[in-house]
Amino acid sequence: MILEDLISTNIMQRGIGNCNPMKMAKCIMELERIYGIRQGSASDGSNQYIKKADPNNSAEQKSQEQLAKQIGISVDTLQNYKKLTTLIPELQSMVEHNALKSTTAYKIWAKLSQEEQENFFNIPLYGLYKCFKMFYHVKV
């Protein structure tokens, strides 16, 4: 419950537009884990709206729609943030350091499998990869 409040408060204080997209994506994933939100349905009949009670989790069960409303974004925006978590670490790092726009990342890169992302990312592009690595001093 404390972690849930801390994450929600942090998002609200920073404001959606001022938050790093990768950090926002990770916060959303953590809140979904806390609330037991998932996509689709399981064989036990549970889905994103109905989940069997977890005795270790006192957080109120919510849907994606309720979570999106709680943090002040649309469900589509919430889902777009979540798509960023499917990127390979190198692309996540680029999004985090503003070398790759989050919109481009979720509209194009996130549609590729991780293997396809790695193949495209590792194509030598006139040393841009090395320049990025040196300029931003990041481990990619």
What is the per-residue pLDDT across 72-90, written as a single tens digit (0 to 9) for each? 899 999 999 999 999 999 9
pTM over 0.85: no
Q: Is the dihedral of CA 7, 9, 14, 18 positive or negative?
A: positive
User: In what helix (H) or strand (E) does residue 66 lie, and over which residues does it extend?
Assistant: helix 64-71
Tens digits of residue pLDDT in 104-114: 999 999 999 99
- Which residues, given as ranges, of the chain have pLDDT below 70? 1-18, 39-59, 125-140
For tokens 């777009």, name the residue.
80
Residue 66: partners with Cβ closer than 8 Å, 6 or more residues away: none
Q: What angle do CA 123, 124, 127 make, to 5 degrees?
A: 145
Residue 61's Cβ-count burial label (10 Å; 0-12, 13-18, 19+) is middle
Residue among 58, 36, 59 at smallest CA distance from 49: 36
